Chains A and B, each alone.
Chain A
Amino acid sequence: MKVCIINYNLGNLTSVYNSVEALGVDVCISNNLEIINKSSHLILPGVGSFENGMDNLKQLNLIDILNHEVVENNKPILGICLGMHLFASFGYENKLNNGLGWIKGNVRKLNNKKSERLPHIGWNDISAKRDSILVNNITESLVFYFVHSYQFIPEDESVITGTCDYAGGFASMIESKNIFATQFHPEKSHDVGSMLINNFLYKSTSHVEN
């Protein structure tokens, strides 16, 4: 196993690195095409704006290789927060932007009530579907750390494997074949977050082969 955290100059890459390294797994932070190609698992983290995220992926020539590895080679990928959003067809932050388009849907601002603050920051509970790979066999309370103002709204609701009851409810986890994504930050969610990353690393491939 060799995990590559995609470096597109956005976000808390070191936090993600520390959390994977703590699991005793071979991991690197890179945007080198050969390293991405030779990795068994990819992680696309990221905090920041949708537009910056896509611009940086383009500038680093990462779009083709990611399409190749994820769509053609079915390599398991975990998108975190902005990383999750970039999997969508379109984002509506500031202006309309194209995403990677792996999962049909849009990214829009959370529809918060007046009593609900934005950004949505802090530890919140998620409700998970029974067939979720990411939280498979986790018996601890599913409470994760969130920090975001936007949400991913997929066209096909069956890809949503977890929801969170804030701002009218939004998709907190998405799983579709080899593509996994969380709106929350497993790398900052203590033990339960480590378990989720562990599931992604050890259960995602058997899932694809099945």
Chain B
Amino acid sequence: MLRTRLIPVLLLKNGILVRSRGFSFHQSTGNHIYQVKRFSEWKADEIIYLDISRSSSHSMNINKSVIGSTSSNMHKADDNEIDMVQIIKNISKVCRVPLTVGGRVKSLEDIRYRLAAGADKVAINSQAIDNPNFIAKSAKEFGSQCIVVSIDVKKDNNTWKVYKEFGKVNTNMDIDEWAVKTEELGAGEILIQSIDRDGSGSGYDLELINHITSIVQIPVIALGGVGNFDHLVDGYKANNAIALAAANIFHFTEQSVLNAKKHLDTQGINIRI
């Protein structure tokens, strides 16, 4: 039987791993390779790596000291892009489960570099909104299975609106319209992120989980709000087709992912341990 997926998410800002609150406050959490290796050993079912750097011209000096020297054989890429690709190369060596990489994926070349560096899937967000056909093109070129469309939503007057640019810009697009469209265009999965719940620790938006899983047929991953292991159980109960992702809760504690899985197991949820 298909097991419920538990997916730790790592947030990368200007080369540093961070935790996030309300899409705005960020705090450093440590070393990439070490974190990915531990998550992989702790039976994470997949790992999602989101680059949330906003500027394209920041200094990457701190990053270089963490990950070693940058590659010189990548062409047509700025320094940050080279660093991102180099980070993927480093972490993919120790990541023995599927690795999804998101953030600043703007072109087919961006996808190609990330996959070639060792990513298994890419998450696309703002670029898909600005140019929906990018989803279709990417799916045709690389296959739907590696195209995850990441959708950030915020509740406005009781309806979920789609936001872009890291939750800064309200597109005024309705979530139903956009989710169905991404599926039609060839997305393999949807990563649904609640901006309201990000870093709140108050649990997933269960209504949102149930709503989005009922309007699309492709797999959906939920992110945002998990503050304790029971919140993961709640997410599953909202709709058992959902894949459970969380970021902050998996940092700072030893065996976090494994302990979360043990908890889900004791609640009768079919999970890989």
Whether chain B is bound by chain A comes out as yes
A interface vs B, CB < 8 Å? 11-15, 18-19, 22, 47-49, 82, 115, 117-125, 141, 143, 145, 147-149, 165-166, 185, 188-191, 193-194
A15 to B217 alpha-carbon distance, docked (Å):
28
Contact A13 B116 (CB under 8 A): yes
B92, B97, B217: which has the most chain A beta carbons within 10 Å? B97
A122 to B241 alpha-carbon distance, docked (Å):
11
Q: For residue A56, give the distance in angstroms from its CB to the closest CB of chain B.
A: 12
B interface vs A, CB < 8 Å? 1-5, 40, 43, 45, 89, 92-93, 96-99, 115-120, 140-146, 188-189, 217-219, 241, 243, 272
Contact A14 B43 (CB under 8 A): no
Contact A194 B217 (CB under 8 A): no
Contact B1 A122 (CB under 8 A): no
A189 to B97 alpha-carbon distance, docked (Å):
6
A143 to B92 alpha-carbon distance, docked (Å):
21
Contact B97 A145 (CB under 8 A): yes
The residues of A that contact B146 with a CB separation of less than 8 Å are 12, 47
Judged by DSSP, the binding face of A is mixed
- Some 16 contacts from A to B, beta carbons below 8 A apart, are A11-B143, A14-B115, A14-B118, A15-B92, A15-B118, A47-B142, A115-B241, A117-B217, A117-B218, A119-B145, A119-B188, A119-B218, A122-B45, A143-B272, A149-B144, A149-B145
The residues of A that contact B145 with a CB separation of less than 8 Å are 47, 119, 121, 147-149
Contacts A122-B3, A125-B1, A141-B272 given; 17 further ones with Cβ under 8 A? A14-B117, A14-B118, A15-B92, A47-B142, A48-B141, A48-B143, A117-B217, A121-B145, A121-B219, A122-B5, A123-B5, A148-B145, A166-B2, A188-B98, A188-B120, A190-B96, A190-B97
Contact B219 A119 (CB under 8 A): yes
Q: For residue B61, give the distance in angstroms from its CB to the closest CB of chain A.
A: 27
The residues of B that contact A193 with a CB separation of less than 8 Å are 96
Contact A121 B1 (CB under 8 A): no
Q: For residue A32, give the distance in angstroms from its CB to the closest CB of chain B.
A: 18
Contact A12 B120 (CB under 8 A): yes
Contact B93 A18 (CB under 8 A): yes
The residues of B that contact A166 with a CB separation of less than 8 Å are 2
The residues of A that contact B142 with a CB separation of less than 8 Å are 47-48
